[in-house]
């Protein structure tokens, strides 16, 4: 139960930060006409955030170790997307001093890295647990 609460809180917190952060705490560049690349990146992060919410929900309702493992793999893949969107898939402004480069993207990378480390650590523990359950 503690594990479920901890992991789902991590995913939910990451999702909330990805949804709200670029518009509040680590604001992205202002919307222009036409929108700059960083704006599209933030829009795409909305999708990854929703998937993280879904992961949190699935994890809470997982009843077996195997289900938790599958949910964690799904969350890990989503988190990799969180990082790749600003890094290479869409990107942002061409100036390092723009808000998206100084604050927004670094914050997104930090959220992604922390979530990925927690997920990876949890996966290792779950796989070991699954191995022990299999033996018994």
Q: Write out the H or E segment, with its range, that includes residue 39.
A: helix 37-61
- Smallest gap from Cβ 29 to another protein, in A, equals 6
CB neighbour class for 43 (10 Å; exposed up to 12, middle 13-18, buried from 19): middle
Q: What φ, ψ does residue 68 adopt, rounded to 5°?
A: -65, -40
Residues 89-128 interacting with another protein (rule: CB under 8 A): 93-98, 101-103, 106, 109-110, 113
Check: CB of residue 18 under 8 Å from CB of residue 52: yes
Q: How many residues bind another protein (CB under 8 A)?
A: 17
Candidates 29-37, 49-57, 66-74, 80-88; binding stretch for another protein (CB under 8 A): 29-37
Applying CB under 8 A, which of residues 32, 33, 34, 134 lies at the interface with another protein? 32
Which of 18, 29 has the CB closer to another protein? Answer: 29
Residue 112 CB coordination number (10 Å) = 24
Residues near another protein (CB under 8 A) are: 29-30, 32, 36, 93-98, 101-103, 106, 109-110, 113
């Amino acid at each position: 139960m503690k594990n479920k609460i901890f992991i789902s809180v991590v995913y939910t917190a990451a999702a909330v930060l990805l949804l709200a952060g670029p518009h509040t705490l680590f604001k992205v560049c202002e919307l222009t006409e036409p929108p700059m690349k960083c704006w599209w990146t933030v829009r795409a992060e909305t999708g990854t955030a929703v998937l993280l919410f879904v992961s949190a929900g699935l994890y809470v309702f997982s009843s077996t170790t195997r289900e938790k493992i599958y949910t964690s793999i799904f969350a890990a893949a989503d988190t990799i997307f969180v990082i790749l969107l600003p890094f290479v898939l869409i990107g942002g402004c061409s100036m390092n001093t723009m808000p998206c480069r100084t604050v927004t993207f670094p914050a997104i990378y930090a959220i992604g890295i922390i979530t990925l480390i927690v997920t990876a650590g949890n996966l290792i523990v779950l796989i070991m647990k699954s191995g022990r359950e299999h033996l018994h």
